[in-house]
Amino acid sequence: MPGNYIYWGNLYDELAQPWVGIVLILTSVVCGTIIGVERESKDKPAGLRTVSLICVGSTIFTFASIMIAGESFADRGRIAAQIVTGIGFLGAGAIIRERGTVVGMTTGATIWTVAAIGLIVGMGYAVAGLALTFVVVAMLTFVRRFERQVFGSCQYSKCRLLYRIGKGKTRIRLLRILDKYHIPDHTWIIAPQDDLEVLDVEYCHSHRGHRAFLFEMIEVPEVVEIQSQSLPPRSENETDAL
């Protein structure tokens, strides 16, 4: 290819018609799976299945748009153009605003980007889609480390909540809050204490988004006391596990 441009190779020009769709769908599955595994490992709401389906769905819509238009003068991007609008609903659903803290922005941006990768693959640029997939994974992985260098690492505390059992209803309410904020299961434990129950939770107190769940927990009427103590610094591997 002359000049300084990179030729990614369009499969519509290089493969027989029946094979194009098969290769594109398989490539889309691979792209979605790679990003989905990274999201699933961080216990994010848009995990392996969600991200994979978004990527595959975008590829199918783009492929269908091109196939329906065929060799006519119809707009080959008419259906594919609606992906940008439609994916906005999924992205918005992943973003939560809670007490001045916005949660899920990275998840929403990931959904939007995965849809774009699926669209690129659906247009026939499978190699470009794979390349962009690894770029996204690198950003999700290494930018977090860069953020730690700029904004500082998490500083952890242990929070102890004493609450009235309330026939088991209070425990369910507190667990629902933990699930809502995606607090990992291995960071909390519940134990009985006299006529009350105790919930011990380890959390990052140095970043607003990480401690936001506490504001909701203390408003549960059955919570009678809350205690907090700082924990020693953690290694980078231990921090990634939280």
Mean per-residue pLDDT of the chain = 80
Token pair for residue 206? Answer: 């140095």
Whether 95 is covered by a domain: the verdict is yes
Report the Cα 148 to chain-centroid distance in Å. Answer: 19
Q: What is the model's pLDDT at position 215? A: 87
Closest residue by Cα to residue 159 from 80, 212, 104, 85: 212
**84 and 186 within one domain:** no
**116 and 29 within one domain:** yes
Q: CB of 114 within 8 A of CB of 49?
A: no
Q: Amino acid identity of 25? A: I
Report residue 155: phi and psi, to 5°.
Answer: -115, 130
Closest residue by Cα to residue 166 from 230, 88, 222: 222
Give the structural domain span for 161: 156-240
Q: Which residue has the tokens 């992943």?
A: 94
Q: What is the model's pLDDT at position 234? A: 57
Predicted structure pTM score: 0.62
Annotate 14-38 with DSSP letters as a single string.
HS-HHHHHHHHHHHHHHHHHHHHHH
Specify the number of domains making up the chain.
2
Q: Tell me: the pLDDT tens digits for 25-47?
A: 999 999 999 999 988 887 777 78
**186 and 116 within one domain:** no
Which among 131, 150, 169 is the end of a domain? 150
